[in-house]
Amino acid sequence: MEKVLLGDNQFFAVSHLSDERSRAQSVRFKDNEAIIRVIDQAVELGIKTFMCTTHDRIAGICDHIRKNPDRYKGFKIYPCMPYAHKYANAVTELGIIGTIKQYVPGNIFSTFTKGGVAYLSKDFIKLIEIFIDAEMKMFKGIDTPVIFIQNVIVDLVLGLRMWDIFAEYDKYIRKKYKAEPGYITMNMPALLDALNSVGIENPIICSSVNKAGFRMSGGKMVYEKYLREKQFRPVAMQVLAAGALKPKEAIEYLGNFPKIESVLFGASTKAHIKETKELIESYLG
């Protein structure tokens, strides 16, 4: 994986620091052109990977990338799914069956053969596969070498101890999309143990890693032990601890853990992207 990953929280008014900042971001990135400008700035600085949710507006960004193949040569996207707010809002408005009809394109009756079995037998794995296929359609023609499942699902499955779902997800992503599966979690140590228990070795795990211990369930000391001793491919997110840490202090801390393969960060200015990229390359090589 690339060492530096540009995230998308800043584009969709997700700020762990304040509601006021979220509102300001919402105004600034109200159209796709503003998002594309920041992505282009990242590309100019040598960042070639965009890790993003499956927010509806990402489809427009993907259209732009497909229309400009020379500009985005070698550019990769790491999709993160599902985008929970999209489905929660749809279920409220349309109901469960209406949501499936809304987000599963094509012949609903042929697709529903699989979905109907999932519903009747409560086979959540088949239902998950349906939504993976639906959400991956927006990325057609774009290089997606790693496909992440969001913590809203990962941590639910983890808590319910339905760990066989992880094994099925792993197999499905590798077979159907020729990609590596990734997992986003708020409890990296527990997730790694669960994945290992169902035969998933050296997984890609994206979790909070920061000097402040922000959103590091189980405690910072346990995270540090796993980062030093366990075999997996860590992706560090929320490294600034929602603004509690300065960039240099935050990235310097990550340098204590050479196993960290990538750092995910959000930025909305070229200067911030440049500063963060240079710090990551300085402390993590």
**Ordered structural domains, the chain, with CATH:** 4-85+143-284 (3.20.20.100)
Place of tokens 């405690």: 219
CA distances from 47 to 5, 70, 77, 200, 208 (A): 7, 15, 11, 29, 21
Q: What is the phi/psi pair of residue 6, to 5°? A: -85, 130
Residues 6 or more apart in contact with residue 92 via CB below 8 angstroms: none
Instruction: Report if pTM > 0.75.
Output: yes
Sign of CA dihedral 201, 191, 52, 284: negative
Alpha-carbon gap, residue 123 to 58, rounded angstroms: 29
Task: State residue 82's pLDDT score.
Answer: 83
User: What is the chain's alpha carbon radius of gyration, rounded to the nearest angstrom?
Assistant: 19
| CA 19, chain centre distance (Å) | 22
> Which residues in the chain land under pLDDT 50?
16, 107-113, 115, 117-121
Question: What are 26's two structure tokens?
Answer: 């919402």
Q: What is the phi/psi pair of residue 59, to 5°? A: -60, -40
Summarize pLDDT for 242-273 with one digit per residue, the tens.
Answer: 989 999 999 999 999 999 999 999 999 999 99
Residue type, 190: A
Summarize pLDDT for 39-74 with one digit per residue, the tens.
Answer: 999 999 999 999 999 998 999 999 999 999 999 999
**Cβ–Cβ < 8 Å for 139, 174:** no
Task: State residue 248's pLDDT score.
Answer: 97
Pairing of strands 204-208, 233-237: parallel
